[in-house]
Amino acid sequence: MTNGTDSSITEYAPGSTGNATPSATISGDDTGLDDPAAIVVDPAGDVFIANENSSTVEEFAPGASGDATPAATISGSNTGLDGPDGLALNAAGDLYVANLDGDSVVEFGPGASGNATPILTLSSSGIEDGSPLDGLAFNSAGDMFVAMSADDGVGEFAPGASGDAGLVNWIAGASDGLYDPVDVAIDSSGNLWVANSGNGSIGEYPPGANGEVFPVDTISGSDTGLSYPDGLQFDASGNLWVSDQNAESVMEFAPGATGDATPTTTITGSDTGLDGPSDLAVAGAPPTPTKLAFVAQPSKGSAGALLAEPKVAVEDAAGDVLTGNTSKVTLSIKAGTGASGATLKCTSNPVAASGGVAAFPGCRINLAGSGYQLQATDGSLAAADSSAFTINPGPAYKLAFVTEPSGGQQFLALSPQPAVAIEDREGNVVTSNTSKVTLSIKAGTGASGAALICTSNPVAASAGIGTFARCAINKVGNDYQLAASDGSLVAATSAKFDVTLQVISSFTWSSNPIAAPASLGPDTTVTRTVTALTAAGRPAADVLVYVSLIKPAPSIEPVGFTDNSSATCGTGKNIVRLPAYCQANSAGEVEVTYQTSSHRELGSDELIAAVDPFGTDQAADPYTYSAPVGTPIASYSWNPDPIAPAESLASGESVPITVTALSAEGNPIPGAPVYLRLTEAPGSNAKISSSCNGTTTAESVPGLAARPASTPAPCSTGRSGSLTITYTSSTKTPTGGSDGVTAGYPKVQEVTDVYSYD
């Protein structure tokens, strides 16, 4: 107890009451005491005294008594001390001093002595010039509270505030109950208590109080014995001790005391040594809360399910639970642990400690993951981390598209292919699930009657995800959506997408050309494959290909000739007679079966593969001839020409020669008629022959210009526009001249190719 009138310090044993004699007194010239106005005791038992008159702060060793010399004294021009009237220690053990006359608060580190320079000086705009600064106190968050008697207010500053720092909160106003406040104290729940010397009362304010706030409780009245309360301090049991300067007494009020409460203890009387008691410190005062600790750990669980209830204790530096503490503890997922983006939800968070322990019922974490840790915080107290635990996925509850189709072309695989996850309520993939997921076109979306085609549907999930392959839609349409279902699980719907007409750039055939029809013989069947290709040259899977068979025009068919050739596409039950739309397989292929006519003589067939038989994007099939059947013949060409000097051939030697029917543009004409005639050199018995009309001599075919009806029918050029014949040299020795072969067609044009001898 500081006694300002006689400059002494008195100490009282636990349980002292009434006219108790001090158990120890520090007084005398060697003490240096000069109007001691404030006192604080550190955890080691060292006693710090603020001397208002001498502007000094003294430190006495534990157990000091009588005319004891201070262990250390802070004094001098560098200290910034000016009428010190309040003392407090923060959690780090730094000493804060409020200057009654100096309009400032200064901070000294442990061990400060002599003319020490403060670590910091607070001279805030919230402190008016000339405003006396009295008592100091810190809450568990490190905020500093200063009683300002002349302003009838209490200011709250953030931890570390210095210089011209502003106030965090300022309690002042006509209805706040403050009247010449001279000291402050913080209880274990963080409530602020203020000693009002002007009206003999003590007011209580909740944490965060600001502005014109009426106190939640007030101790005042004749039974309280209060007259000029000047010092406040709580003991370890939560009892409030008050020094009263006018009443020359020290009073104790039980926890929860309010109104005109009678003190449970009063020390007063001539034997007490009290003489203008200004401030007090209580041995066994509430230990300073310094840290948090988990006393009940969370354990592994399922996403969205209740965790084992975490509990966090508020402890002092020694690890003892501060059972009187009711400050609020906040729980969160420790940064960098568990699944990114996970959230923690509890019934209440933060939670006020009860008996020094904050319990968190109803806690859940939404995302599955391993290595989770919870972190507990409470202002400036050292945070606590829980042990690591795992959150597993919950039971399967719903489906969700994890890969959305963004669209595609008709009959082509959607891109990307859809994938559907089986999830719990919180959206975690249930990796142990292998149930079957079914995909369909959502009713009412896309084109009416459209079908979804996939390699497999439904598909069994692997690691909780159903992955679909080669899914395509057969109709062009907008705003398609896919629907995923799996028994009783909540179904999923994909985002909207469009299906456009597939762009086929070209077709290729497995054999090109298939063959000259005449070389196949009548009623011959062959099978060929046409492949649809995209612009990138890739096979277009599952597309519709329009395939048709075009027969020779009637104008170039011989009288009485009818082409009964035919073609189909597909295999097995999918055989379709042309013309028709045929669906390609996964490799973009359509199988076409072609059968020649039973009485083929002239002209040629064409197979056409196209996207649209009426559109401009039609692709001609690879069996298109270089000149259409029936094109007028402008000339014939021979290869070789001449075949060779006759004398270079052996007697009776046969060599092939080819004749080609040409259009006016010089293009070969398939299916063109060719009459052949051999003109022999004198003495030559050379011959020509072909598969068309057998062996022909000069006598076999009279003049081409006027062919009798009885002469053999003409030969026909094949699909390439050419006809190959065989020339056999004479077995006799010609007497001169040359053999010649003539190719021609009545009423069209004839051309003679001559093989001259040297």
Contact, 391 vs 302, CB < 8 A?
A: yes
Q: What is the dihedral of CA 136, 254, 26, 226, to 10 degrees?
A: 80
Contact, 522 vs 492, CB < 8 A?
A: no
Contact, 604 vs 671, CB < 8 A?
A: yes
Q: Which two tokens stand for residue 708?
A: 């009798």
- Average pLDDT in the 651-677 region? 79
CB-based contacts of 15: which residues, under 8 Å, 6+ apart? none
138-197 confidence digits (pLDDT tens): 988 889 999 998 889 999 999 989 888 888 999 998 788 899 999 999 988 889 999 999
Of 732, 727, 703, nearest in space to 642 by CA = 727
Q: What is the dihedral of CA 220, 223, 228, 234, to 10 degrees?
A: -70
CA distances from 689 to 668, 678, 692, 696, 737 (A): 22, 10, 8, 6, 21
| pLDDT at residue 719 greater than cutoff 70 | no
Largest CA distance in the chain: 174
| pLDDT at residue 560 greater than cutoff 60 | no
The Cα–Cα gap between 435 and 462 comes to 9
Contact, 549 vs 557, CB < 8 A?
A: no
Range from 101-105, 446-450, 533-537 that averages highest in pLDDT: 446-450
Residue 670 carries which DSSP code? T
Q: Where residue 756 falls among pLDDT bands split at 50, 70, 90?
A: low
331-343 confidence digits (pLDDT tens): 999 999 999 999 9
DSSP codes of every residue in 451-513 = -EE-SSSSEE-BTTEEE--S-EESS-EEEE-EEEE-TTSBPEEPPPEEEE-----EEEESSSS
- Average pLDDT in the 669-680 region? 74
Order of all β-strands in the sheet with 47-51: 36-41, 47-51, 56-60, 72-74
Q: Which two tokens stand for residue 301?
A: 């669980």
Residue 617: Cβ-neighbour burial (10 angstroms; 0-12, 13-18, 19+): exposed
Tracing tokens 């006018």 back to the chain, one arrives at: 246
393-442 confidence digits (pLDDT tens): 999 999 999 999 989 888 778 989 999 999 999 999 999 999 999 999 99
- Average pLDDT in the 266-281 region? 95
Q: Where residue 718 falls among pLDDT bands split at 50, 70, 90?
A: low
The pLDDT of residue 612 is 62
The pLDDT of residue 663 is 78
563-604 confidence digits (pLDDT tens): 677 778 887 766 777 777 787 887 888 888 877 766 544 455
CB-based contacts of 213: which residues, under 8 Å, 6+ apart? 171, 173, 176, 205
Tracing tokens 């915080």 back to the chain, one arrives at: 377
| pLDDT at residue 694 greater than cutoff 70 | no
Contact, 387 vs 299, CB < 8 A?
A: no
Residue 633 carries which DSSP code? P
Look over the chain and give the mean of its residue pLDDT values, rounded to a whole number.
84
The Cα–Cα gap between 60 and 337 comes to 49
Q: Which two tokens stand for residue 292?
A: 């948090």
The pLDDT of residue 604 is 59
CA distances from 579 to 278, 305, 566, 735 (A): 114, 64, 10, 61
- Give the residue with greater pLDDT, 38 vs 736: 38
| pLDDT at residue 113 greater than cutoff 60 | yes
CB-based contacts of 413: which residues, under 8 Å, 6+ apart? 470, 471, 472, 541, 542
Lowest-pLDDT choice from 1-5, 199-203, 713-717: 713-717
Q: Where residue 554 falls among pLDDT bands split at 50, 70, 90?
A: very low
430-453 confidence digits (pLDDT tens): 999 999 999 999 999 999 999 998
SS3 string, 681-724, reads CCCCCCEEEECCCEEECCCCCCCHHHCCCCCCCCEECCCCCEEE
The Cα–Cα gap between 85 and 103 comes to 11
Tracing tokens 């001599």 back to the chain, one arrives at: 697
The pLDDT of residue 536 is 75
The Cα–Cα gap between 558 and 567 comes to 22
Q: Where residue 709 falls among pLDDT bands split at 50, 70, 90?
A: very low
Contact, 259 vs 219, CB < 8 A?
A: yes
pTM above 0.85, yes or no: no
The pLDDT of residue 753 is 53
Q: Percent of the chain at pLDDT above 90? A: 52
- Average pLDDT in the 484-495 region? 97
Phi first, then psi, for residue 386 (nearest 5°) are -80, 170
CB-based contacts of 142: which residues, under 8 Å, 6+ apart? 90, 91, 159, 160, 379, 380
Of 123, 168, 115, 116, nearest in space to 141 by CA = 168
Q: Which two tokens stand for residue 592?
A: 């076409």
